[in-house]
Structure 1
Amino acid sequence: MNPSGDGGVAASPNGDDEERSDDATPRSGAEPGPYMVARPFEGLFEGSNGRYYTDWQVRERHRTGEWRLCIRQRTPDRRLVETGDGALLLLTPTDADALPAGVEIRVADGCARVVDTRRRVSE
């Protein structure tokens, strides 16, 4: 998934979703005009562990009990969570444009996940 908004689904004037080409021209015969493509996620977080998480991943970890929210600061927005192994993890918002090379956002079944394809150095 390319988070920059190239290609994807745009909302048509009648509320239906339609496939959008790179030239932002609607295909259903609606009047041409600038269309804003919605990202498949609302927030993106950088963890103090060097990993990245979408808002969906953060919500899922809270919902399943894998993470427990310890404290949230709203300005600036930061969250401190306790992980399943008892470690503390600080989450800070970041922008998709700031993701390092090899870290991408993939969407499947309506869920956006961060996938890190960078090579890991074996220990």
Structure 2
Amino acid sequence: MDRVGVTLLLKYLSAAYRSFVISDDEVLDVIGVWEDILRDIPNEDVMQAARRLCRENNSFAPTPGEIYQACIQSGKEMTVYQIQQQEQELRMLELQEYHETEKVGPMPDHVREKLDAIFKKARVTEDES
């Protein structure tokens, strides 16, 4: 979805949900996030999914993630590459969340020693090659 499509989608959602308001100082950031999340989906598919979600939920506007999932699950067959890409994106998001929420420090010495011992056994020396 491109920037123009995102802008039209946000206008549609603000008309459908009166509580869906974006302040002027956040507009560019919100458009950027929505554009990033929905970048792989054609504008027409996103709008159809948004309409469907608006019909199903009359309380809250759908999030970009919900719209993305609705597009993915809309019955279109996914290629193996698309499935692998989606799985990789999920792994990257999980890893990013882990690094944002967990305190990640240096590896403990006992773990480093065990790994060094394993790698030392697996190394190929010049004599062996």
TM range (shorter): under 0.3
| TM-score (norm. length: structure 2) | 0.26
| TM-score (norm. length: structure 1) | 0.27
Greater strand fraction, Structure 1 or Structure 2:
1
